[in-house]
């Protein structure tokens, strides 16, 4: 199978490329970028005129809900949504049911993903058994079956000694530890950022320092253990500053931010909108600006969907009774393009933050269009305007606060391993 993508504007930040050229794909690999080999005849040609051609997107965190919560989503339904959104690689956090703390769960997920063949699914193994924060998991065994890192998901390890040992052990096996920095004591039963809005609405508060205290603890442990660590979904400007400082000191730490935290703030909760119930919570305007600045400074090197599809009941009720999370796959690129339109990022910066940036964090050879690399690509039209309509999501989760937003951009083709896995109607 060979494919020629003709006349598109190719943006490949990893190779500092931004120009109108043809791309040829053969046997699942990028065969050439630019000059088409003499005598080459493509089985199929895609006309990409006026479109952007870039590496397929890499998402560090998308919950597929399988196994265990198939009424919220399945590997089949969610990878189909990913393909339609230009996402070719996604990492699945370990908080499935059962927990992804042993090779059999990983193998099950990989088998189902292989059957659906819509996206490259990668597992994040559990850092501790059952995510209970007591015993370190068999990380070597998890790595051997293809886990790309270890994490305790949304259940931060409370016991600092256990966390120390888990980091030491992970670093011995050369595994990156993915951390949700949150002091669970300070979080308590909180649902909203501690500030004017939680004060007014009488919602249990989550203070900013629930995040910064946890970041400080983990940084101290990283410094001691030498573990390579990645901070997931930072929500506060102060935490971004702490990561910046750690990076300046040469510590092996990286960080990402959830796409929705770059747009929404605590103010969006004022009408008790359960769609804005997320974890970490939507914070202040100042925090949102700090997160955006972190993208530019390089402190934050990836943007994630933090995709969490929910059934409608999960979001139906007084806000503190609802489950946190947003179905984020299908608005991902569109919101990213809004950042470009609003001049927060250049198009090339955006593409880097959603492809080569996260690929580098994972240490995987995806997210670029180098010759001979895996042919994962996304082709999109940046101009088409849409009104977000959650009812038309391919994901089983229609839970989004962006329903009804006017956003530009549409994915027209997604190519995984040289195969077209999505073509727009």
Partner 1 sequence: MGYKNSIQLTKDKKLRHFLTIEGLPRAILVEILDNAESFLTVGEQQVKKVPLLRGKVIVNLFFENSTRTRTTFELAAKRLSADVLNLNIATSATSKGESLLDTLQNLEAMHADMFVVRHALSGASFFIANHVAPHISVINAGDGCYAHPTQAMLDMLTIRKHFGAFADLNVAIVGDILHSRVARSEIHALTTLGVNEVRVIAPKTLLPSAIESMGVHVYNDMNKGLEGVDVIIMLRLQKERMDGAFVPSEEEYFNCYGLTEEKLRLANSHAIVMHPGPINRGVEIESSVADGKQSVILEQVSNGIAARMAIMSMCMSGIAAGEV
Which positions lie near partner 1, rule CB under 8 A?
194-196, 198-203, 205, 207, 270-272, 313, 316-321
- The three-state DSSP-derived secondary structure of 126-169 is ECEHHHCCCCECCHHHHHHCCCCCEECCCCCCCCHHHHHHHHHH
- Cβ neighbours for 110, distance < 8 A, ≥ 6 positions apart: 121, 123, 145, 146
Torsion of CA 284, 290, 293, 297, to 10 degrees: -160
To the nearest whole angstrom, how small is the minimum distance from the Cβ of residue 317 to partner 1? 6
- Shortest distance (Å) from residue 190 CB to partner 1: 12
Query: Regarding beta strands 52-55 and 177-179, do their DSSP bridges make them parallel or antiparallel, or are they unpaired?
Result: unpaired
CB of residue 26 vs partner 1: minimum separation in angstroms? 56
Is the backbone peptide bond immediately before 280 cis, with ω within 30 degrees of 0? yes
Q: Which is nearer to partner 1, 321 or 406 (CB)?
A: 321
Neighbouring CB atoms inside 10 A of 387's CB total: 9
CB of 13 to partner 1, least distance (A): 41
Determine which one of 306, 313, 342, 381 is catalytic. Answer: 306
Task: Decide if 12 is catalytic.
Answer: no
Q: 46 forms bridges with which residues in the sheet?
A: 5
160-165: long-range pairs with CB below 8 Å, 24+: 160/217, 160/221, 162/128, 162/133, 162/134, 162/136, 163/217, 163/218, 163/221, 164/221, 164/224, 164/225, 165/136
Measured from the CB atom, is 128 or 399 closer to partner 1?
399
Residue 216 C-beta: closest distance to partner 1, Å: 20
67-83: string of b/e by CB count within 10 Å (b at 16+)? bebeebbbbbbbbbbbb
Nearer to partner 1, 226 or 404 (CB): 404
Catalytic residue numbers?
306
């Amino acid at each position: 199978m060979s494919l020629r993508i003709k006349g598109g504007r190719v943006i490949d930040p990893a190779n500092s490329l931004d120009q109108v050229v043809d791309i040829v794909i053969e046997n699942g690999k990028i065969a050439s970028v630019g000059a088409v080999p003499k005598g080459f005849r493509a089985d199929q040609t895609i006309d990409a005129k006026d479109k952007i051609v870039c590496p397929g997107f890499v998402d560090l965190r998308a919950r597929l809900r399988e196994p265990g919560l198939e009424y919220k989503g399945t590997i089949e339904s969610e990878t189909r949504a990913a393909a339609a959104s230009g996402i070719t690689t996604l990492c699945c956090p370990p908080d499935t049911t059962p927990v992804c703390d042993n090779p059999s769960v990983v193998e099950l997920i990989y088998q189902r993903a292989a059957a659906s063949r819509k996206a490259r699914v990668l597992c994040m193994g559990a850092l501790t058994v059952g995510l209970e924060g007591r015993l370190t998991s068999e990380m070597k065994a998890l790595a051997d079956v293809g886990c790309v890192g270890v994490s305790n998901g949304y259940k931060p390890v409370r016991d600092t000694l256990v966390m120390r040992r888990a980091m030491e052990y992970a670093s011995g096996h050369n595994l990156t530890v993915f951390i949700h920095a949150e002091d669970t004591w300070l979080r308590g039963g909180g649902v909203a950022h501690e500030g004017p809005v939680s004060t007014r609405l009488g919602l249990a508060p989550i203070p900013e320092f629930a995040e910064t205290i946890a970041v400080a603890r983990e940084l101290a442990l990283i410094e001691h253990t030498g573990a390579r660590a990645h901070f997931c979904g930072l929500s506060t400007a102060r935490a971004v500053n702490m990561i910046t400082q750690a990076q300046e000191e040469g510590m092996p730490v990286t960080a990402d931010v959830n796409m929705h935290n770059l747009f929404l703030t605590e103010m969006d909760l004022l009408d008790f909108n359960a769609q804005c119930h997320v974890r970490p919570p939507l914070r202040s305007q100042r925090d949102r600006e700090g997160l955006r600045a972190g993208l530019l400074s390089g402190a934050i090197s990836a943007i994630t969907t933090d995709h969490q599809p929910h059934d409608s009941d999960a979001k139906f009720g007084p806000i503190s009774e609802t489950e946190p999370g947003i179905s984020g796959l299908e608005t991902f690129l569109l919101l990213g393009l809004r950042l470009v339109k609003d001049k927060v990022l250049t198009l090339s910066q955006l593409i880097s933050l959603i492809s080569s940036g996260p690929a580098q964090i994972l240490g995987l050879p995806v997210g670029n269009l180098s010759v001979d690399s895996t042919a994962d690509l996304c082709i999109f039209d940046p101009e088409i305007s849409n009104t977000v309509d959650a009812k038309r999501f391919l994901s089983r989760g229609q839970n989004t606060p962006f329903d009804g937003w006017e956003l530009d951009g549409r994915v027209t083709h997604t190519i995984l391993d040289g195969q077209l896995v999505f073509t727009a109607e």
